[in-house]
Structure 1
């Protein structure tokens, strides 16, 4: 008998689960470490974000507060940069790095960075794919319908595309952030190394999400093929 949420193909996801847990631990521990290290400049992350935005002609982009930890983001629809509780008023290397990263996204939006535009354009479709892919696939398994299985897999590929496009967006934003912090001498070279460690750790979570999606797709293909044999 087939149990839809527990079968032998689940073993395929174990490496991704371990990687994801390690990535989450890495980003939290690295952020915590450098949250304890104040920048020599003594300015808050909010102030740094404001200065960097203004320097790039983005004075019309407001910086707002958002509750939570590491919920910082740039909203391309509202043209707003939002900083979280642990970042906004902090003077730490970690907070300044995160704020600069979000400024990097704002600059991407300003310049029409191709991967950001692509990611933003496919969000509605990805939400549709994410919502329907697994239910369709599960129904296909229960009914033994190859067409529904294939439809579920095809929709799930849309989720994979989103994660693939997200990687260059995040890496590019971090590269822009470090360059800005260096050019403006907001952080010293030693402090830049700490900020880079924080942003590199954060990037691992996006890599982990991609790995999980790839292995989930492999699992779906394996299940589909087992129904055909």
Structure 2
């Protein structure tokens, strides 16, 4: 039963999450905001209203490549969202500014996630080397080391969830308080951000179940050694 659930989670849920975000973004990128503001203007307005004049807003290449860079103190928006006037672009721009506000407020989960980056990167890059050698060579010590390293990446995925949820919450509060969207557009923007949040939930679920699967493999090898 575990493996049936496992395969459902690692195969079906990520595909469903991706289809939801593509569908929501595609639909509401065709709906133009009544404010007439571009994504760049939305980002700049929210930043300025929160006193974050030092945070820059830049265009970045790629599709849905939008992100906030805490090191450079810069909100980067993909070309479509930077220049576009859509509800989807407004939602995405506000979400990224939500991260900038988190950074300015020293939001605890964002600070924790940032501190986990080196460990998570190392764990993601090295864990499978130890896991594969441990499994094929029947060396439980190496397998356990790989699992521990993978756990660092899983922890990063889990900590990412409250960071993303909070950024979306801040985004919705800002676009409503500043009158950037109408009542109908508010609901549409929420749908875009909820769909995007689902991709993070899917990624975390896959990571957790992959870790659990390897723990089961490890305990099985331990019993065989006994």
Give the TM bin, normalised by the shorter chain.
Answer: over 0.9
Structural mapping, 1:61-210, within 5 Å: 61-210=55-204
Shift of 1:16: 2.5
Figure out how many residues of one structure are paired with residues of the other and give that number. 222
Aligned to 2:218: 224
- Tell me the CA shift for residue 221 of structure 1: 1.3
- SS of the aligned residue for 1:71 comes to coil
Match of 2:29 in 1: 35
CA distance in 2, matches of 1:9, 1:226: 15
Give the TM-score, by structure 1 length.
0.94
The Cα offsets for residues 171-216 of structure 1, whole Å up to 9 and x where unpaired, read as: 0000000000000010011100000000000000000000100110
Shift of 1:9: 5.7
Q: How far does residue 78 in structure 1 lie from its aligned partner after superposition?
A: 1.0
CA distance in 1, matches of 2:74, 2:18: 26
Q: What is the CA distance between 1:14 and its match in structure 2?
A: 3.4
What is the Cα deviation at residue 222 of structure 1? 2.0
Alignment partner, residue 19 of structure 2: 25
Q: Give the Cα separation in 1 of the matches to 2:3 and 2:135.
A: 14
SS at match of 2:83: coil
Unaligned runs of 5+ in 1: 1-7
Gaps of 5+ in 2: none
Q: Counterparts of 1:205 and 1:193 in 2: how far apart (Å)?
A: 19
SS at match of 2:59: strand
RMSD of aligned alpha carbons: 1.4
Q: CA deviation at 1:146?
A: 1.0
Is the Cα–Cα contact under 8 Å of residues 73 and 82 in structure 1 kept in the other structure?
yes
* C-alpha distance in structure 1 between counterparts of 2:81 and 2:5, whole Å: 38
